[in-house]
Amino acid sequence: MRLIVTPDAEAAAHRAALEIAHACEAATEERGRALIALSGGRSPWRMLEILCTQPLPWSEVYVAQVDERITPPDDARRNLTRLEALLVREGPLPRDNLLPMPVEAAGLEGAARDYEAMLAAIGGPGFRLDLVQLGLGDDGHTASLVPGDPVLQVEEHDVAITSEYQGTRRMTLTLPVLSRARRRLWLVTGLDKAAVLDQLVEGSVDIPANRVERRGALVVADRAAAPRASFRDDPLQV
């Protein structure tokens, strides 16, 4: 795992956006398309605004969701609402290249299998995401993989349905697909994330985030989230 500490959240958003752009460029050059997965929450939105300014072959970039709440489409908590606004309505991504999780389906387990099949149709059998962007919850969760949820034990599927967490169930990518991604990018900002970021970097505490493959992972944090680390804008091995 590598750690980059930037002066502030704006700089972290810029660095993360450039990392995603580089991954998309490399994937389209090597395989003709890029398949990435993006998280929700507040941290990624500025990153996505910056990403949309990058001169990428957007028609060959496909964006999946890392997770989504199982709520009605007009629920303000849905990650898709902001992703669609930034990437499609206000940005350069073709609408068909944004891959919404089918959380409104009647049969959720079947819908999870359908989403898995959609990703495999784009990426190929045993597909690897070219990049997955992850966030970090105060309790150490990432995606919708929260402490104590049985979904943490899922090994045979890439997409699964969680138990209820903070009032809703979720559809989420699972540990196997996150861990086999070609690149894993963590974006962590804010003083409230300092304690849990220490746990992620040290890797010694049993939190869901530490069950994701660490080799080749990059953490981009601002100084507020990493107060114990000296400022660096180049990768530090941790």
Whole-prediction pTM: 0.94
Whether residue 167 lies inside any domain: the answer is yes
**Measured CA angle at 98 (ends 97, 99), to 5 deg:** 105
Q: Lowest-confidence range among 2-11, 208-217, 220-229?
A: 220-229
The Cα–Cα gap between 49 and 43 comes to: 12
The Cα–Cα gap between 102 and 105 comes to: 6
Structure tokens at 234: 């180049």
* Sequence letter at residue 192: D
Share of the chain above pLDDT 90, in %: 84
Assign residue 106 the CATH number of its domain. 3.40.50.1360
Range of the domain at 128: 21-237
Q: Three-state DSSP class for 178? A: helix
Q: What is the pLDDT of residues 107-164, one digit of tens each?
A: 999 999 999 999 999 998 889 999 999 999 999 999 999 999 999 999 999 999 999 8
Count of structural domains within the chain? 1
Q: Lowest-confidence range among 39-43, 57-61, 220-224?
A: 39-43
Whether residue 208 lies inside any domain: the answer is yes
